[in-house]
Amino acid sequence: MEQVRLGKTGLKVSRLCLGCMTYGSPKWRSWVLDLEQSKPFFQSAIEKGITFFDTANIYSIGESEVVTGHWLREFSPNREEIVVATKVNGPMGKGPNEKGLSRKSIMAQIDASLKRLGMDYVDLYQIHRFDYDVPIEETLEALSDVVKAGKARYIGASSMYAWQFARMLAASEKHGWVKFVSMQPQLNLVYREEEREMLPLCRAEGIGVIPWSPLARGYLAGGRSAPKEGNTERARTDEFSPRLYYTPADEQVVDVVGEIAKERGLSNMQIALAWVLRHKAVTAPIVGASKLGHIDEAVSAVGIELSDDEVKRLEAPYKPKPVLDHA
């Protein structure tokens, strides 16, 4: 597996990142795999050269971090061989200070995340969306202090408006605080709105881009013409996808993905992921896997080259959408 720099940092990450939201507790979501069910996925990922793992405190209300830490310690006992990312913002309790990006919340949640992971530090500590209730200076200074305390090596951000991210980068520069090194936006063949402003901003600032949902929550893998269809439990129970996808233009994109996959003797997943991987701004897409074959397909997609004609065909049906899931 190729190892690449995360933005302009010296940190090297694998070309694919394993998204760990799938692993934790089925009490949180019915499609989530528990500790024992998750084991072969971490083993397979590490055996295939994936060294980058992304989770969040909110996933399974902390249990994803427990599972992730458990199996990474088992299959990669040398901590320096792997890059671990987690996130902060979502509600972790009923109290008003058990969520968000206040200094109080950040300082409490990094310690809680490290305890669950069983680690002394995370490589990348990310804000899980923008917090409209907290001054950005408070958030940025707290994150900077987390890094200076040795609890995180770098900081990152996730889906927000480009102007918000630009303000945060400028504030960090002004005050001499630790700056974001990565952005985690949504990017796939049926959601390309970040190509307008966020991705050009990241390229200009040397920010690594680690897109979430490169397969549109599995929609681009095919087998679904309507919500609640598909061959996985997540596809059949996903309440979120209908808010993002399933427009007539989206269906046309999926059809073209299927056509090119058939012509190339590949899967829809491989074609859709190859398109994200070829994007000049992208460092490492975050891929989820609920079946072991998903990891195999994702890894094989890294070496797939799409022709200019295939890219034009894939992109032609796209219709602009409202900006989605920034809150």
Q: How far apart are CA 142 and CA 148, in angstroms?
A: 10
Total domains, the chain: 1
**Over residues 80-99, mean pLDDT:** 97
| Contact criterion met (CB below 8 Å) for 210 and 284 | yes
Q: Which of 56-60, 104-108, 113-117, 323-327 comes out lowest in average pLDDT?
A: 323-327
Averaged pLDDT, 75-81: 95
pLDDT at 16 over 60: yes
Residue 239 forms part of a structural domain: yes
- Asked if the structure places residue 47 within a domain, the reply is yes
Task: Please give the residue range of the domain that contains residue 184.
Answer: 3-315
- Tell me which of 238 and 293 has the higher pLDDT: 293
The answer for residues whose C-beta is within 8 angstroms of residue 239's C-beta and 6 or more apart is none
Q: Is residue 320 part of a domain?
A: no
In this predicted structure, what is the pLDDT of residue 131?
A: 97
CB atoms within 10 A of CB 250: 21
pTM of the model: 0.94
Q: Is residue 261 part of a domain?
A: yes
| Banded model confidence at residue 246, pLDDT cuts 50, 70, 90 | confident
Instruction: Give the catalytic positions in this structure.
Output: 59
Per-residue pLDDT averaged across 121-146, rounded?
98
Tens digits of per-residue pLDDT, 210-230?
999 999 989 999 876 656 555
Residue 301 in any domain: the answer is yes
Domain-located, residue 321? no
**Predicted local confidence at residue 239, as pLDDT:** 65
Residue 325 domain-assigned (yes or no): no
Q: Checking phi first, is residue 288 left (phi over 0); if not, alpha (psi -120 to 50) or beta? A: beta
Say which CATH number the domain at 126 has. Answer: 3.20.20.100
Model confidence band, residue 237 (pLDDT cutoffs 50, 70, 90): low
Flag whether 108 is in a domain: yes
